[in-house]
Amino acid sequence: MSEIVQLDTVKRITIAEMFGPTIQGEGKSAGRPTMFVRLGLCNLDCSWCDTPYTWDWTGKNGVRYDREQETMRVPVSDVVDWFNGQTSVNRLVITGGEPLVQASAVVKLVTALPDVDIEVETNGTIEPPAKIAHRVQWNVSPKLPSSGVDRDKAIDTQALRAFTETSNYSLKFVISTYDDLQQACELVADLGVDMAHVWFMPEGRSADQINKALPDLIEAAIMVGANVSTRLHVLAYGDRRGV
C-alpha cells in the first residue's frame, strides 16, 4: 500500500460487522464468492428490516439495540487490512444500514482497494459520490409501501436517476404486496429504466417465506420482463448473522 493511501485511510468508519468468505445472496451477483463489510447507521427505518441492529437504537422495530455494542468506529485502513488479509476472494460488498450515510468514508475505502470488484448496496436516497460513481456496482433497493416508510422519504427520484447514469447498477425491489409490485413498475417506468436492470425479490427471513412467495413473483416478473432474485443466504442459513 502506498504512503498516500495509508494517510488517506486514517479516516474512521462506523462498522457493524465484517465477515466472509461467503457468497452474495441476492440480486445481480447472487452466488459469487464475496467478503462483506456491513456499515452501521441508516437514514430510513423499514418495518421489515433484517439488519435493525445497525440503526434501531430506540426499539422502533421491537428490539432496542445498543449502538456501542453493535457498532465500532475504526480507521478505514483497518478494513483494508482485514480484506487484504484474505487471499481467496476478490469481491467486496459494502452494505448496511445505509452505506452512503458515511459517503466520504466509503469513498476512502473504495479508492484504497483499486483492484477489487466492489458492490455497494444502497436504498437509493443519497446520490452516488462522483469520485466512485463509475467505479463500483450499485445495488439500489428503493423502499416500497410494505417498508412502512413514507414515500416522500423513501423515494428520491433525483438520486435514483443519478444511479441509473452510472456504469453498473441494478434496481432490486423487495416485494411483499401487490402495492409494492405496482409502485415498483411505476417507478421503473418513471425512471425510463430497461427491465434488464430490474430484480424483484421476495421479502422474508426464512426459506419457507421466500419459497412461498417465489411462484407469484416469478409470474409477475415474466409479465413485465424483470429479473427475479431469491435470497440464497436465507435459504441456506435462515436468519443468522455473519453469513
Q: What's 72's DSSP letter? A: E
3 state SS of 90 = coil
User: 44-71, pLDDT tens digit by residue?
Assistant: 999 999 999 999 999 999 999 999 999 9
- The answer to whether 156 and 190 have CB atoms below 8 angstroms apart is no
- pLDDT confidence tier of residue 178, bands split at 50, 70 and 90: very high
Q: Please give the torsion angle defined by the CA atoms of residues 218, 185, 192 and 128, in that order, rounded to the nearest 10 degrees.
A: -90
**Domains in the chain: ranges and CATH:** 3-199 (3.20.20.70)
State the pTM of this model.
0.94
Distance CA 231, CA 154 (A): 22
Q: Which residues contact 25 (CB under 8 A, 6 or more apart)?
A: 231, 232, 233, 234
